[in-house]
């Protein structure tokens, strides 16, 4: 829980403060009911529902990075929780008949919460469709689980080489260009050293999802080794691949990533290079990309092979 609180402390603190303000407002302007007047069935139903919504909020914030979808889902659930919390409070505090604002606090946030939840789920659905469309490419032609990386999970080096060979043959048949992008995270060993391998693994998982969201449905992303990835771009000229490579670098550089431990902001960056396939083997093509990457790491201006 400490890591969850550190990552989303503002959201959780805001919900805590607003909920307690509602409770204090009821206690200051109403009278506490006697135990005989408590409706235990209502208390169990409304209190249990509020507790479940709070658990949903915790699971949401623990499993998703910050962003618009997470904010919409959180706000929707927060409205539902506040409405249910006010319902529970009303079971213990008796307000005067002339008071009407307590009914608004109980009922008003509920429809707002459902609207926000609907928007969040809609955008979450679109996000998952984009990721799923990209992930389907890892199972093209045959399914060999041993060739898939367990961490990300993407096709590994063996799967990548097989797919490059097949894609080159298809590009020759179709007389279409084929380009590749190699992406290598900068100073990734420092993340593992300073924050631990678990944090480094999480960075790779987040970067994988980000890259997938910025590719076309028929593009293929694989993890070559460590923090190095390769994107296969069918029907793509080298000049177009260079543009895509630059966009991927910018997307990673603008990623608002925070560590799970202290919620510290990490500035991520990646070096990308692009090359168009020739009449060559997958080994030779990857060798060219690796050589270009080595030069690019030394000279940041070099970005194409």
- Cβ(231)–Cβ(211) under 8 Å? yes
- CA 98, 101, 105, 109 torsion-angle sign: positive
- The pairing of beta strand 228-234 with beta strand 178-185: antiparallel
End-to-end Cα, the chain, rounded Å: 47
The pLDDT of residue 15 is 83
Integer Cα distance of 9 and 1 in angstroms: 11
The pLDDT of residue 97 is 65
Integer Cα distance of 248 and 277 in angstroms: 20
40-63 vs 68-92: helix crossing angle, rounded to 10: 160
Q: 216 by DSSP, 3-state: which?
A: coil
Residue 78, φ and ψ in degrees, nearest 5: -65, -40
Which residue positions in the chain have pLDDT lower than 50?
1-5, 138, 141-142, 301-305
The pLDDT of residue 219 is 93
The pLDDT of residue 223 is 92
The pLDDT of residue 141 is 43
């Amino acid at each position: 829980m400490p890591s969850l609180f550190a990552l989303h402390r503002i959201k959780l603190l805001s919900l805590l403060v607003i909920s307690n303000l509602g409770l204090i407002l009821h206690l200051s302007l109403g009278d506490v009911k006697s135990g005989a007047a408590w409706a235990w069935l209502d208390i169990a139903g409304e209190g249990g529902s509020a507790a479940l919504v709070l658990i949903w909020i915790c699971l949401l914030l623990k499993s998703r990075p910050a962003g618009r979808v997470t904010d919409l889902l959180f706000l929707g659930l927060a409205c539902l929780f506040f409405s249910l919390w006010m319902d529970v409070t009303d079971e213990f505090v008796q307000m005067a008949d002339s008071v009407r604002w307590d009914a608004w606090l109980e009922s008003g946030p509920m429809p707002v919460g459902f609207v926000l939840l609907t928007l969040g789920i809609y955008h979450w659905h679109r996000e998952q469709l984009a990721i799923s469309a990209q992930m389907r490419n890892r199972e093209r032609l045959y399914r060999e689980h041993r060739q898939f990386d367990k961490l990300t999970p993407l096709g590994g080096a063996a799967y990548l080489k097989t797919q490059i060979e097949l894609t080159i043959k298809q590009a020759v048949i179709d007389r279409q260009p084929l380009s590749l992008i190699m992406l290598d995270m900068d100073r990734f060993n420092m993340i593992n050293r300073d924050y631990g391998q678990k944090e480094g693994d999480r960075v790779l998982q987040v970067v994988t999802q980000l890259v997938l969201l910025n590719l076309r449905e028929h593009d293929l992303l694989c993890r070559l080794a460590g923090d190095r990835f390769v994107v296969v771009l069918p029907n793509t000229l080298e000049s177009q691949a260079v543009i895509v490579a630059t966009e991927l670098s910018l997307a990673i550089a603008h990623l608002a990533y925070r560590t799970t431990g202290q919620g510290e902001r990490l500035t991520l960056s990646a070096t990308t290079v692009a090359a168009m396939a020739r009449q060559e083997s997958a080994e030779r093509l990857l060798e060219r990309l690796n050589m270009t990457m080595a030069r690019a790491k030394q000279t940041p201006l070099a970005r194409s092979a």
